[in-house]
Amino acid sequence: MRTAPERPEAQGTDGGRWALARRVAANLGRHRASMSAGSLAYRWFLSLFPGVIAALGFLALVRLDAHGVASLTHAVETSLPKGVSGIFTDAVRAARRHESGSGAAVAAGLVVALWSASSSMAALQQALDVAYEVPAGRSYLARRARALPLMAATFVLGGAGAVLVVLGAPLGAGIEGHVGLHGEPFVVVWTVVRFAVSLLAVSTLFSIYYHFGPNVGRTTMRWFTAGGALAVAIFVVASVGFSYYVTAFSAYATTYGPFAGVAILIFWLYLTGLAVVVGGEVNAELERARAARPEDGGEGEGAAGGG
């Protein structure tokens, strides 16, 4: 089992929350967190569009009708910033126009998407290794193998959260006729439920990242961590704030012109990556603090794999 090495400056691990915050802030600079977040955004961006190609081929295979296309594009347009939604709605409409060769598109898109997604999850492992200050001891194949559960969790939990946010309104319209609530009360309850479940899905996904990502030995899964909670909070605040900025000021459309959607998407992915890295830094520092306390048994399981 690998453990986080003690840092040469021996800056201590007590002093309460403010001391913890200062150590985390120092580590964010020392570990070049912004560079790690940028790397994650780049890898995630590259892995996104092969998946879109596969999805478009699937839409062509199932021959989504005009009403289905309209419902899907409307849901995307009302849930995402204008520049970002335009990328996906144009792609969906393109799938409607080009239905030939869809089987090949699904196969090729799936292969490339899996390869790109595994690369993005390998980058995530390396970013968390830096946060936990452990050597990147996994081989190339080991990192790719460890990427599989991370990819599966991202697909299931991240996909569920995205579907509830983007397609929540049409899903609610289908559910409303089968429950006791109707009208405005149902809308309120459904809105609370779908966003709460989305947050739970994202929180669980981040917990899985922090358990399987870094190259440390763990035997027990912690479903709730301080770093995970902070990462979710940063993710939500950054997403809402950035969406409001894009909608209210439209500075990206002025600056980037036709590339505004791509710029917005990459920056949102960067903010998401930064949230994951900051949460990892917090969890790593807390585990170092627990390992330094004699009552926790010193360094060992608590140092890097306390759960």
Q: Across residues 97-119, what is the average pLDDT?
A: 69
pLDDT score of 1 more than 50: no
Q: Across residues 272-295, what is the average pLDDT?
A: 83
pLDDT value, residue 2: 46
pLDDT score of 258 more than 60: yes
pLDDT score of 276 more than 80: yes
> DSSP alpha helices (H): ranges in the chain?
16-30, 33-62, 66-79, 82-97, 102-132, 140-153, 159-166, 168-176, 183-212, 226-249, 251-256, 260-292, 301-304
> Can you give 235-287 as a three-state secondary structure string?
HHHHHHHHHHHHHHHCHHHHHHHHHHHHHHHHHHHHHHHHHHHHHHHHHHHHH
Burial 11-44 (b: 16+ CB within 10 A, else e): eebeeeeeebeebbeebbeebebeebbbbbbbbb
Give the model's confidence band at 277: pLDDT under 50 very low, under 70 low, under 90 confident, else very high. Answer: very high
Q: Across residues 148-173, what is the average pLDDT?
A: 79
pLDDT value, residue 81: 58
Distance from C-alpha of 219 to C-alpha of 251, rounded to nearest angstrom: 48
| Domain boundaries, given as residue ranges, for the chain | 16-304
pLDDT value, residue 29: 86
pTM: 0.73
pLDDT score of 202 more than 50: yes
| Cβ-based burial of 112 (10 A; exposed 0-12, middle 13-18, buried ≥19) | middle
Compute the Cα dihedral for 257, 261, 264, 266 and give only its sign.
negative
